[in-house]
């Protein structure tokens, strides 16, 4: 048999995700891997989002900040704090 979760667990994952639970918390609560939860958390019959920039239209939609700057929740750019990742 294929590696597929029981329907009751799939429905539980979707239900908790709809209530705002993160994939990490759902995985911990059900004893599953986060990737497994992410695979089943998408509502049944929904169409996945298209990748950024594929909507068409003009103008750049790049959301990457220049090196050394990050955007805070209000949208303002501020210097990056801490050691850079490698």
pLDDT digits (tens, 9 = 90+) for 39-78: 999 866 666 555 555 555 555 555 554 555 555 666 665 5
The DSSP code sequence of 53-72 is T-S--SS----PPPTTEEE-
* Res 33 pLDDT > 60: yes
- Residue 71 phi, psi dihedral angles, 5° rounding: -95, 135
pLDDT of res. 24: 93
The pLDDT value recorded for residue 59 is 54
Q: Is the pLDDT of residue 32 over 60?
A: yes
The residue whose two tokens read 């639970």 is: 21
């Amino acid at each position: 048999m294929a590696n597929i979760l029981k329907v009751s667990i799939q429905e539980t994952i979707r239900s908790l995700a709809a209530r705002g639970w993160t994939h990490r918390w759902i995985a911990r609560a059900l004893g599953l891997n986060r990737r497994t939860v992410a695979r089943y958390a998408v509502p049944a019959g929904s169409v996945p989002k298209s990748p950024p920039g594929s909507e068409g239209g003009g103008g750049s939609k790049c959301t990457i900040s220049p090196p050394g700057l990050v955007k805070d929740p209000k949208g303002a750019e501020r210097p990056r704090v801490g050691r850079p990742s490698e």
